[in-house]
Amino acid sequence: MRRSRGAFTLIELLVVIAIIAVLIGLLLPAVQAVRSAAAKTACSSNLRQIGLATVNYESQNGSFPPSSINSPGSTQWGGLQMFLTTSATPPGSSSGDFARGSVFIAIAPYIEQQNVLNNYNPREHWNAAVNQSAASKRIKLLECPSVAFNHKYTNTPSGWTIADLPTTSDYAVVSSVDDSVFGTTKGTNLANPGNDGQRAILSANIFTTVGLVVDGLSNTIMFAECAGRPDNWENGKISVTTPSTGNGAWSAPGNEIKIDGATPDGTSGSGATATCPLNCRNNGEIYSFHPGGAFVVMGDGSVKFLRKSISLRSLVIMATRSGGEVNED
């Protein structure tokens, strides 16, 4: 008599499949959590390098670079001669004589991006024909790994002539605080410190010395996340009404945040209900793809994770360089 061969019964096979399915179901969230944590750590590292690069710039030059060069006033022309366009006659006769561009051009050598500057002329506008090739190159250090998009404009900027469109950054300068945020209508109850007191460390068309940061470098925000651009994100979703607005180019002067809060649904950045401090709107406000908050860089190069529960009042205090307040959170 030949002995019959043993085999799994149908019930045993289904049990094994069910066990495997349960194990996979338990493993996937853990893998996703590890990936999210790794991306968050890498994002923090990117911002730390940007912060230290800006601090090194100040150490070598005696002042922080402007947050941008963007239509400076006549009283500022004298200090911006290194940005006078090649076609302009010194010392310049109009605001358009000065090359519009971002702070990332100034600190590029300090973040090991000199190769970008080799093809970029800082004495021409960021979207000038001579600079378009460089402005269309992605710089990984300026992209948060949590943002899974191609960081490319979808709209062609004015004057753009090549097929390769500008690339964007997930990080932006916090340059100032809006007038409206100091009023009682937003519940801040803060005294408006005036134009100079509203500025952050990096300001448009101005080289800021350390002595002007009265509130202290470690207490004042310099950069923050403003992720997901060029698309407009509102409270975790791409805006249906204004997709692909074409903002956030790393080389453009508009890569700045002027703190004034947002509505909780992210649809507006103004009005009495615009009390959300971060992660509600990426159009001109702090916004990240990390759950629970966003990273900022302080003036000493340190990186902090701001909880979404922070009040708009506290964010304003941290953003202004000479408001004379004490940080509350």
Write down the residue that tokens 């709107």 correspond to: 281
pLDDT for 299 = 96
How is residue 95 written in tokens? Answer: 């605001």
Average pLDDT over residues 232-255: 82
**DSSP string computed for 167-208:** BB-SEEEEEEE-GGGGSGGGT------HHHHHB-SSBTTBPB
pLDDT in tens, 20-62: 887 777 766 655 665 767 889 999 999 999 999 999 999 999 9
More confident residue, 143 or 10: 143
Task: State percent of the chain over pLDDT 90.
Answer: 65
Beta strand pairing call for 237-238 and 101-102: unpaired
11, 18, 212, 296, 316 from 219: Cα distances, Å: 65, 54, 13, 11, 11
pLDDT for 132 = 96
More confident residue, 63 or 180: 63
Assess whether pLDDT exceeds 70 at residue 242. Answer: no
pLDDT for 192 = 86
pLDDT in tens, 97-111: 999 999 999 999 998
The pLDDT mean for the chain works out to 89
Give the integer Cα–Cα distance in Å for 19 and 83: 66
Average pLDDT over residues 266-290: 92
Give the integer Cα–Cα distance in Å for 165 and 246: 10
Write down the residue that tokens 């045993």 correspond to: 12
Assess whether pLDDT exceeds 90 at residue 209. Answer: yes
